Amino acid sequence: MNKQVIAEKPANNKVKSMVSIGASSCGIAAGAEEVYKTFADEIKKAGLDVELKKCGCLGMCSAEPLVEVAIPGKPSVIYGKVTKEIAARITADHLVKGLVLKENVFEINKGKQLKIVLRNCGVIDPESIDEYISREGYDALNKAITQMTPEAAIEELKKSGLRGRGGAGFPTWMKWSLTRASKGEIKYIICNGDEGDPGAYMDRSVLEGDPHSVLEGLIIGGFCAGASQGFFYIRAEYPLAIDRIQKAIDQAYARGFLGKNILGSKFSFDVEIRLGAGAFVCGEETSLIASIEGESGRPRQRPPYPSERGLWGKPTMINNVETLANIPVIFLRGGDWFAEIGTEKSKGTKVFAVTGKVKDSGLVEVPMGTTIREIVFDICGGIAGKKKIKAVQTGGPSGGVIPENHLDTPVDYDNLQKLGSIMGSGGMIVMDETDCMVDISKFYLGFCVDESCGKCAPCKIGGYQMLKILEKISEGKGQLSDLELLKNLCQTMQKTSFCGLGQTASNPVLSTLRYFESEYKEHIEEKKCRSHKCSGLLNYRIVEEKCKLCGLCQKNCPTEAVEGSRDKGYKIIKSKCIKCGRCYDVCRFDAVHKG
């Protein structure tokens, strides 16, 4: 496999040392701006001829701020959790003396990754169109509109086998072809940047780290579909992504990649940004369209599909951020090249945001077919602490929980569906033995109930009723018959809900029932939560043999449920205890028992 996805043009090869600082939202939140300023001051003070720049996310968000130091003729070094003090030492030792600070080196990209979508993230300055162009930026656009017809370009995309990365996995070429075939002089293309899954931030990172690649994919899509207007629909909670996309649009207009007669061709194309208000349901295509039109973000009946009648009644093509970021590489390297990567029915790579109980959380891009175990253990370092892995959640609130014994399953659209989960947009949350599956399904279902637009009864009422049953079980008030009722409600919601939110909201409940039904039964029959997450099933007591009579539990109890004194000892009065766990948390002698 050719892993050299994008090559720098010879004229732009760096000949002097360079310091790159990850300055996406995750890096900035961890202190990247202060680190950048320290490097600027120290490099100036030392009189060094070093290029200092900000770049997008380098991948492992748990180690931010990440800094890459590249000295000509030597392997580049990545430092993690860099402070201003460490930045000063890197300047004095590494840049001046050539001495690597081994204790601060962060080993990143531990093999098995193949970066196509993230090819420029952490490499280029996302606010510099020149740096994007130096990495073959806009060459694919030039090739498509000057050497290919739209039909030939769609055929090239068909060869690639690219499926939509928004979650459904619909063949991208088919969506483009259907929009092109629809009648009408006015057509639109929309980039769906309304990323709302808990634990997912792939699209934000790509928009922040490599905005031009998404923009280039959007322009090529517009050319192929016959559209003259494109929109970025980005939720307002992503201010940095919005700012960088706007700068990319402005730069592209200035260089002739947008506007009238692009690159001297007959193709003209304009792009604008529309902000979303943060409603999860607006990730659904027809809800997104309604939102742009100024209407309430609620789904509409399909058919007609957006490719036939979409935005303002015109044929509209909607692709998500990751899908569009793949487009320039496919047109540069060819559809056949792309199709060699991945599995038989799932081509290319997939970006995952790996979070939860994992040692090195962050963004990972791997070829389709890589196993979940390889992602969690070989790339992300395994489980944090000394706990055992219990399950992995994929696909966000619409996905499902995959237990430990299925972690060797190769990841692709079909395999995940067989396991009762979905690819989704790429959120992957790792859970260890301290996680309760009843609590997990309650969390995801609660999210979907909060985000339901309320248009259809199965989603609005069914989800609420299921949540009430789960709350009852977690409080020790459930009955075995509730499990059958839950399954029936899940199936009803799947079959009768109006849109994807309601149709998939029950997936976490079904998958946890499928693999962890014994835990549900423990809650119901034994009134026991083995993970101690369901507070309604917890009881606290003070172990007399371990108690050192310090009185901290009594001082911190908010309901005066701890009675006694240093002379007589302490005990917890069950009728007063609200099971907040404060006594357990403050005890330094392991004298408060939770069970």
The model's pLDDT over 404-417, given as tens digits with 9 standing for 90+, comes to 999 999 999 999 99
Task: Report if pTM > 0.85.
Answer: yes
pLDDT of residue 168: 80
pLDDT of residue 5: 66
Which of the four pLDDT bands, split at 50, 70 and 90, describes residue 98? very high
Per residue in 304-357, pLDDT tens? 999 999 999 999 999 999 999 999 999 999 999 999 999 999 999 999 999 999
pLDDT of residue 10: 46
384-398 in b/e burial notation, b at 16+ Cβ within 10 A? beeeebbbbbbbbbb
**70 vs 64: CA distance, rounded Å:** 18
| Among the ranges given (513-522, 536-545, 547-556), the one the predictor scored with the smallest mean pLDDT | 536-545
pLDDT at 384 over 60: yes
Select from 65, 57, 95, 97 the least CA-distant residue to 82. 65
Select from 176, 175, 138, 154 the least CA-distant residue to 332. 138
Per residue in 468-496, pLDDT tens? 999 999 999 999 999 999 999 999 999 99
pLDDT of residue 199: 86
Q: What is the mean pLDDT of residues 68-73?
A: 94
Separation of CA 574 from chain center: 43
- Which H helix or E strand runs over 571? strand 569-572
Beta bridge partners of 389: 432
Beta bridge partners of 519: none
**147 vs 152: CA distance, rounded Å:** 10
Per residue in 4-58, pLDDT tens? 566 655 444 557 899 999 999 999 999 999 999 999 999 999 999 999 999 999 9
Q: Is 213 helix (H, G, I), strand (E, B) or coil?
A: helix
The CA-based angle 348-5-323, given to 5 degrees, is: 40
**165 vs 174: CA distance, rounded Å:** 14
Select from 176, 169, 178 the least CA-distant residue to 345. 169
Per residue in 457-467, pLDDT tens? 999 999 999 99
pLDDT of residue 2: 42
Tokens of 116: 């196509």
Select from 160, 26, 21 the least CA-distant residue to 87. 21
**173 vs 167: CA distance, rounded Å:** 16
**Contact present, 364 and 358 (Cβ < 8 Å):** no
| Matching residue, tokens 């946890």 | 512
pLDDT at 1 over 50: no
Report the first-to-last Cα separation within the chain, whole angstroms: 53
pLDDT of residue 179: 98
% of the chain beyond a pLDDT of 90:
88
pLDDT at 110 over 80: no
**268 vs 261: CA distance, rounded Å:** 5
| Matching residue, tokens 């069914």 | 462
The phi and psi torsions of 391 (rounded to 5 degrees) equal -165, 170
**Amino acid identity at 405:** N
Per residue in 140-194, pLDDT tens? 999 999 999 999 999 999 999 999 998 788 999 999 999 999 999 999 999 999 9
pLDDT of residue 196: 86
pLDDT of residue 396: 87
**Amino acid identity at 440:** I
**Contact present, 161 and 338 (Cβ < 8 Å):** yes
pLDDT of residue 223: 98
Select from 291, 300, 297 the least CA-distant residue to 499. 300
Select from 245, 236, 235 the least CA-distant residue to 214. 245
Torsion of CA 346, 348, 349, 350, to 10 degrees: -40
**Higher confidence at residue 367 or residue 397?**
367
pLDDT at 592 over 80: yes
Tokens of 372: 């979940």
Q: What is the mean pLDDT of residues 393-402?
A: 91
Torsion of CA 46, 48, 51, 55, to 10 degrees: -30
| Among the ranges given (189-193, 197-201, 467-471, 553-557), the one the predictor scored with the smallest mean pLDDT | 197-201
| Among the ranges given (14-28, 41-55, 108-122, 250-264), the one the predictor scored with the smallest mean pLDDT | 108-122
